Amino acid sequence: GENVEQHPSTLSVQEGDSAVIKCTYSDSASNYFPWYKQELGKGPQLIIDIRSNVGEKKDQRIAVTLNKTAKHFSLHITETQPEDSAVYFCAASNPQTGANNLFFGTGTRLTVIP
Amino acid sequence: DAGITQSPRHKVTETGTPVTLRCHQTENHRYMYWYRQDPGHGLRLIHYSYGVKDTDKGEVSDGYSVSRSKTEDFLLTLESATSSQTSVYFCAISESDGLVQYFGPGTRLTVT
């Protein structure tokens, strides 16, 4: 199956700075890459996703980049705010595994220091 | 949480007892999933359903069974709970393409 690695496991930034979280995947057949934000005691919330036919996608302060050749993708958060503090998960979907199942990274705990 | 409810939200049970967790959706989505979340492992797929009475195994299905008799309900059963099944369980739903998944609020299960 797919193997997704995520780095770093923890990240602290000053408010207003940028944060970058990186993920790599193992199966070149994977073609869908979502990012989820999870706040304490809640379920993961989809914040942005990218499909393999594009290299970058932006939504306000959040962007995701994809390098299919290197099999890695990254989440970029600009102008960070305290409410961005949460655990972020990347995932990859391999259509060959059935029902487009998602394989998740192990998460990055982002802390934005006011 | 995208019209998804999970019940119960918290449960403590003893080793060897059966446990059933329920996921209910109001979105009429085709796909439903059960994941478990453990420290250091992210979320791992247990079972999924691609329609009423259509289910299949995920990455960590041993010790779990599922049933889906109605579009809106997906049940996860632990036939004989073990301490290794202490975890937070999340249900997710997806529309026609099965890619974009939305998660419920989770059930924290403790097996003593």
pLDDT of residue A99: 62
Q: What is the mean pLDDT of chain B?
A: 94
Q: Under an 8 Å CB criterion, which residues of A touch B?
A: 1, 4, 6, 32, 34, 36, 42-46, 49, 89, 91, 93, 98-107
- pLDDT higher than 90, residue A94: no
User: Can you give the C-alpha Rg of chain A in angstroms?
Assistant: 14
Mean pLDDT of B3-31: 96
- pLDDT higher than 70, residue B1: no
Residue type, A65: T
- pLDDT higher than 80, residue A41: yes
pLDDT of residue A96: 66
Contact B68, B97 (CB under 8 A): no
- For residues A106 and B43, what is the distance between their CA atoms, to the nearest angstrom? 8
Contacts of B101 in chain A (CB under 8 A): 34, 46, 102
- Across the interface, of A45, A46, A89, the residue whose CB is closest to B42 is A89
The residue of chain B with its CA nearest to that of A1 is B59
Least Cα separation, residue A81 to chain B (angstroms): 23
The first and second tokens of residue A7, run together, are 């780095």
